[in-house]
Structure 1
Amino acid sequence: MVIKAIGKYKWLVAAALATMLLQVGTTLWQPSYMKNILSVMADMSLSTNGKIDRISGYGVGLLIVAVVGLIGSVLNTLAAAKIAQAVSADLREQTFRKIQTFSYEDIEKFKAENLVVRMTNDVNQVQMLLMMVFQVLIRVPLLFVGAFILSIMTMPRLWWIIIVMVVLIVLVTAVSMGRMGPHFAAFQSLMDKINGIAKDNLRGARVVKSFVQEANQAAQFDAASDTLNGHNLAVGYTFSTMIPAFTIISQLAIFGAILLVANFVTESASVAQDQLGGIMSFIQYMMQIMFAIIMGGMMSMFASRGFVSIGRIQEVLNTETAMTYDTDAVEDLGGDVEFDHVSFAYPNDEHPTLQDISFKLAPGEMVGVVGATGAGKSTLAQLIPRLFDPTEGRVLVGGRDLRHVSQATLRQTVAMVLQKAILFSGTISGNLKQGKPDATAADMDRAANIAQAAEFIDRLPERYEAPVEERGNNFSGGQKQRMSITRGVIGAPKVLILDDSTSALDARSEKLVQDAFNRELKGTTTIIIAQKISSVVHADKILVLEAGRLVAMGTHRELVESSPVYQEIYNTQKAKEA
């Protein structure tokens, strides 16, 4: 996934690698100049002027190498930043597009807050990983190998000091990584949990305030936050012991090297000159080796979070959606609806929500669906626009099994208005055009009049360009519901499903909406999921559900006479009204 995404930017990758090699080369080259300078200073055969001339030449060369290395470092940072930003933007877009293809079942499996974290925090972790890869992780092994070889070439007699230092630093790094690994693995799941608590609290702010649950919400958030803080502190404590340990090891190695060189210089003048010139380079190479190991260890630990995030993003991108469509061909479907021995159970639910339901609806019929709470009314409605597929049986629209209908055709044929009116931030017209992208002002006027939304839209100075805040918070519940109905009818669907979508309307507005449906949607098959029988009393046909089964079907008059379940619901509601 990430390799493929990086492949789009091969020229930037080449630039990053080239500048990294330049940076490593200049870093490894600098100690040789220091060796030459010290060797000149220790050379007793040269005059003072000769020493100054040579040292000046080496100094200029050292300055040029340092400047070239600095330029390489700047260019490498720019190239790495561009790669990281571009790839992370691509991954974020791919993940969002993939989520758009998910069915209800897929989203329920991942959970909304989890998907948000994967698109934001996990992508940011991948971005940081890419920065480290092109700035540090590739440079570290090159620097380590180069410094190791050059240090031994500089002072072959002290090779064993390098080996001992490397072994000790690697052991400290391995132990530290082993302690910190589990803490890094827990970070992302805790981020999911914290994000979920914050989302629930903000979405349900009115409930929290109404029931004085601020302290309880704060306690839940604090508990999750404290757990995350504990993991961060554990990592911090480990780091606090790592750095001093590395420092002690390196200083002991330097002390040992200087002590041994002090013994070597007593052997002869030529040996003394060579050893005094090489000790500074040797120490610098030791520091580079230590730096490479420390940076490699630290970056590897941080990179582990990036690799976890790559796996989480990969899981989303590789998910085979639970619902696929056979073809993209545009078909013309009729408005008849049929359930053929349909049963349905939600994932991980042992008991089916719907059991062996069969019925046929003719085009243009107005059909009511009633039943007690939990009878399966909304589930039945969600099968018609194929938000879920039935566990058994078939759902047909226009005589075609929905499994063999293209998505575009189904969305053009079937529209659904939910009980909970969900509006997106933007404008009224932007929300209405979700039902018909090419809707004109005339289309919006017609639909708004049917849904009785024109009553308040016409009072707004901007009318359809009036702003809609997040989740439509600048409109009342009834207004949001009427706009939701407007969005459902604007595309003139052949099948319209109203899932208790007039529950927030007053009796007058609900009556006006029903009259408009009878008048304007005569050719539309209208399925009304209702809690109140008064909402469906004039329907051509009423379906009665009980415990997921279709127990009766007929007109209001027929059901009042023949269905005990319908009679009980009807009499209960009459008693409440009385």
Structure 2
Amino acid sequence: MMLKAIAKYKALVFAAMLTMILQVGAALWQPSYMKNILSVMADTSLTTAGRIDKISNYGVALIVIAVVGLIGSILNTITAAKISQVVTADLRERTFRKIQTFSYADVEKFNSANLVVRMTNDMNQIQMLLMMVFQVLIRVPLLFVGAFILSIITLPQLWWIIVIMIVLIVIITGLSMRSMGPHFGAFQALMDKINSIARDNLRGARVVKSFVQEKNQTEKFDKESDELLKHNLAVGYTFSTMIPAFTIVSQLAIFAAIMLISTFVTKSPSVAQDQLGGIMSFIQYMMQIMFAIIMGGMMSMFASRGFVSMGRIREVLDAKPSMEFDTTTDENLDGSIEFDHVSFKYPNDENMMLKDINFKINQGQMVGIVGATGAGKSTLAQLIPRLFDPTEGSVKVGGKDIRHVSQGTLRNTISIVLQKAILFSGTIAGNLKQGKRDATSKDMDRAAKIAQAAEFIDQLPERYNAEVEERGNNFSGGQKQRLSITRGVIKNPKILILDDSTSALDARSEKLVQDAFNNELQGTTTIVIAQKISSVVHADKILVLDEGRLVATGTHNELVESSDVYREIYDTQKAKED
């Protein structure tokens, strides 16, 4: 996944590696010049002028090397940042496009809050990982190997100090990583929970305030936040002991090297000049070796979070959508509907929600669907536009099994207005164009009049360019439902499904909407799911559901006479009205 994403930017990758080599080369070259400077200072055979001349030449060389290293470092940071940004942006877009192919069942499987965290927090972790790869991963092995070889060349008799220091630092790093690894693994799961709690609390702010649940919500959030804090503190405590441990090991190595060199100088004054000049370079190389190991360990620890995030993104990208559409060319279907022995159960649910449903609807008919709460009305409606696939049997539109037609064909043929009116932030026009991308002002006017939304849209100074806040919070429930109906009818579909979509309307507005449907959508097959029988009393056909079964079909008058379930619902509602 990651290699494929990075492969698009080969030039940037090459530039990052080249600039890193320049940076490491400059870092390794500098200590050798320091050795030369110290050797010149210790050389008693040189005159003062000669000594100053040589030191000046070495100083100029050091400045040039430092400038080259600085330029390499700056360019490497720029290229690494660009790689991490563009690759993460591509990955984020791929993930979002993949999510758009998911069915309702797939989204419920991952959980919407979880998917949001994957596209935000997990993407940030991947971005940090890429930045470290091109700033540190290439640098660490080059710096370690180069400094190790040059340190031994500088003072070969002290090779064993380097080896002992490396072993101790590797042991400390390994123990630290082992301690922190489980905590990094827990971070993302806790972030999912915290995000979910915050989202539910903000979305349900009115419920929280109405039932005085602020304390309970705070306690729930604090519990997960404290758990995250515990893991963060554990990592922090490990860091607080790891860095001093590295410092102690390096200082002991430096102390041992200086003590041994002083011993060598005392025993063999003839070699004192070379060894005194080399001790500074040797110490610098030791620091570079320690730095390389520490950076490698640190990168491994932080990379563990990045790899966890990569795994979570890979789960999304590799997930096979539970529903695939035919790729044939879009076609025109009429508005007839047929359910042929359809049964359905939700994923991870043992019981069937719908059981052996059979019926036919002719084009242009208005059909009502009634039943008690939980009878399966909305579920049945969601099978028609193929938001779910039936577990058994088949659903046919225009005489064709919907599993064998293209997605474009279904979306052009069917519009569904869901029970919960959902508006997206932006403008009214932007929301209406979700129903018909190329909708004109004339199309919007016609649809708004049918849905009785024109009466409040026309009062807005911006009309269709009026702002829609997040989740349509600047509109009332009835206004949101009318906008949702407007979006559903704007493309003049062959089949229109209204899933209890007039529940927030007053009786007058509902009557006007129904009259507009009868006058303006005469050729449209209209399916009305309603809690109130008054909403479907004039339907050509009414389907009565009870515990997932189709128990009766007929007109209002026929069902009052023949169906006990329908008559009970009707009598109950009539008694309430009386």
Structure 1 spans left out of the alignment, 5+ residues = none
Listed one character per residue, the Cα deviations across residues 354-386 of structure 1 (whole Å, up to 9, x for unaligned) are 000010000000000000000000000000000
- 1:262-301 matched pairs, under 5 angstroms: 262-301=262-301
Query: For residues 446 and 60 of structure 2, what CA distance do their matches in structure 1 show?
Result: 82
Q: Match for residue 76 of structure 1?
A: 76
Query: For residues 215 and 248 of structure 1, what CA distance do their matches in structure 2 show?
Result: 48
Query: For residues 268 and 444 of structure 2, what CA distance do their matches in structure 1 show?
Result: 99
Listed one character per residue, the Cα deviations across residues 233-260 of structure 1 (whole Å, up to 9, x for unaligned) are 0000000000110010011011111111
Query: For residues 225 and 474 of structure 2, what CA distance do their matches in structure 1 show?
Result: 33
Query: For residues 250 and 206 of structure 1, what CA distance do their matches in structure 2 show?
Result: 59
Q: Report the more deviating stretch, 267-276 or 205-214.
A: 267-276
Letter paired with 1:179: S
- 1:10-159 matched pairs, under 5 angstroms: 10-159=10-159
The answer to whether residue 205 in structure 2 is matched with residue 171 in structure 1 is: no
Q: How many Å apart are 1:444 and its aligned residue?
A: 1.1
Query: For residues 433 and 146 of structure 1, what CA distance do their matches in structure 2 show?
Result: 62
- 1:399-478 matched pairs, under 5 angstroms: 399-478=399-478
Letter paired with 2:193: K
Q: Report the more deviating stretch, 39-48 or 360-369.
A: 39-48
Q: Match for residue 552 of structure 1?
A: 552
SS of 1:197's equivalent? helix
Listed one character per residue, the Cα deviations across residues 367-420 of structure 1 (whole Å, up to 9, x for unaligned) are 000000000000000000000000000000000101001001100000000111
Q: Match for residue 530 of structure 2?
A: 530
Is the contact between residue 328 and residue 408 of structure 1 (CA under 8 Å) also seen in structure 2? Answer: no
Is the contact between residue 337 and residue 397 of structure 1 (CA under 8 Å) also seen in structure 2? Answer: yes
Normalising by structure 2, what TM-score? 0.99
Query: For residues 554 and 436 of structure 1, what CA distance do their matches in structure 2 show?
Result: 34
SS of 1:329's equivalent? coil
Is the contact between residue 161 and residue 253 of structure 1 (CA under 8 Å) also seen in structure 2? Answer: yes
Query: For residues 463 and 64 of structure 2, what CA distance do their matches in structure 1 show?
Result: 68
Q: Match for residue 210 of structure 1?
A: 210
Q: How many Å apart are 1:270 and its aligned residue?
A: 3.0
Q: How many Å apart are 1:121 and its aligned residue?
A: 0.7
Query: For residues 355 and 270 of structure 2, what CA distance do their matches in structure 1 show?
Result: 98
The answer to whether residue 244 in structure 2 is matched with residue 244 in structure 1 is: yes
Q: Match for residue 260 of structure 1?
A: 260
Q: Match for residue 196 of structure 2?
A: 196
Query: For residues 291 and 207 of structure 1, what CA distance do their matches in structure 2 show?
Result: 55
Q: Match for residue 230 of structure 2?
A: 230
Letter paired with 1:491: K
Letter paired with 1:109: K
Is the contact between residue 19 and residue 75 of structure 1 (CA under 8 Å) also seen in structure 2? Answer: yes
Query: For residues 426 and 49 of structure 1, what CA distance do their matches in structure 2 show?
Result: 77
Letter paired with 2:149: I
Q: How many Å apart are 1:266 and its aligned residue?
A: 2.1
Query: For residues 19 and 574 of structure 1, what CA distance do their matches in structure 2 show?
Result: 81
Q: Match for residue 394 of structure 2?
A: 394
Letter paired with 1:515: D
Q: How many Å apart are 1:474 and its aligned residue?
A: 0.9
- 1:472-511 matched pairs, under 5 angstroms: 472-511=472-511
Query: For residues 134 and 439 of structure 2, what CA distance do their matches in structure 1 show?
Result: 49
Structure 2 spans left out of the alignment, 5+ residues = none
Q: Match for residue 369 of structure 1?
A: 369
Query: For residues 280 and 230 of structure 2, what CA distance do their matches in structure 1 show?
Result: 43
Count, aligned residues:
578
Is the contact between residue 532 and residue 573 of structure 1 (CA under 8 Å) also seen in structure 2? Answer: yes
Letter paired with 1:366: M
Q: How many Å apart are 1:268 and its aligned residue?
A: 2.8
Q: Report the more deviating stretch, 324-333 or 548-557.
A: 324-333
Is the contact between residue 184 and residue 305 of structure 1 (CA under 8 Å) also seen in structure 2? Answer: yes
Letter paired with 1:506: D
Listed one character per residue, the Cα deviations across residues 319-356 of structure 1 (whole Å, up to 9, x for unaligned) are 11111011241111010000000000000101010000
Listed one character per residue, the Cα deviations across residues 406-460 of structure 1 (whole Å, up to 9, x for unaligned) are 0011000000001111011111111111111111111111111111111111111
The answer to whether residue 526 in structure 2 is matched with residue 520 in structure 1 is: no
Letter paired with 1:516: A
SS of 1:63's equivalent? helix
Letter paired with 2:386: R
Query: For residues 441 and 291 of structure 2, what CA distance do their matches in structure 1 show?
Result: 67
C-alpha RMSD over aligned residues: 0.8
Normalising by structure 1, what TM-score? 0.99
SS of 1:375's equivalent? coil
Q: Match for residue 4 of structure 1?
A: 4
Letter paired with 2:476: S
Q: Match for residue 321 of structure 1?
A: 321
Listed one character per residue, the Cα deviations across residues 463-498 of structure 1 (whole Å, up to 9, x for unaligned) are 111111111111110011011111101101000000
Query: For residues 112 and 460 of structure 2, what CA distance do their matches in structure 1 show?
Result: 34
Listed one character per residue, the Cα deviations across residues 163-197 of structure 1 (whole Å, up to 9, x for unaligned) are 00000000000000000000000001111111001
Letter paired with 1:292: A
Q: Report the more deviating stretch, 512-521 or 362-371.
A: 512-521
Letter paired with 2:469: E
Runs of 4+ in structure 1 over 6 Å off: none
SS of 1:252's equivalent? helix
Identity %: 78
Q: Report the more deviating stretch, 38-47 or 187-196.
A: 38-47
Letter paired with 2:207: V
Query: For residues 412 and 328 of structure 2, what CA distance do their matches in structure 1 show?
Result: 13
Is the contact between residue 328 and residue 407 of structure 1 (CA under 8 Å) also seen in structure 2? Answer: no
Query: For residues 61 and 475 of structure 2, what CA distance do their matches in structure 1 show?
Result: 72
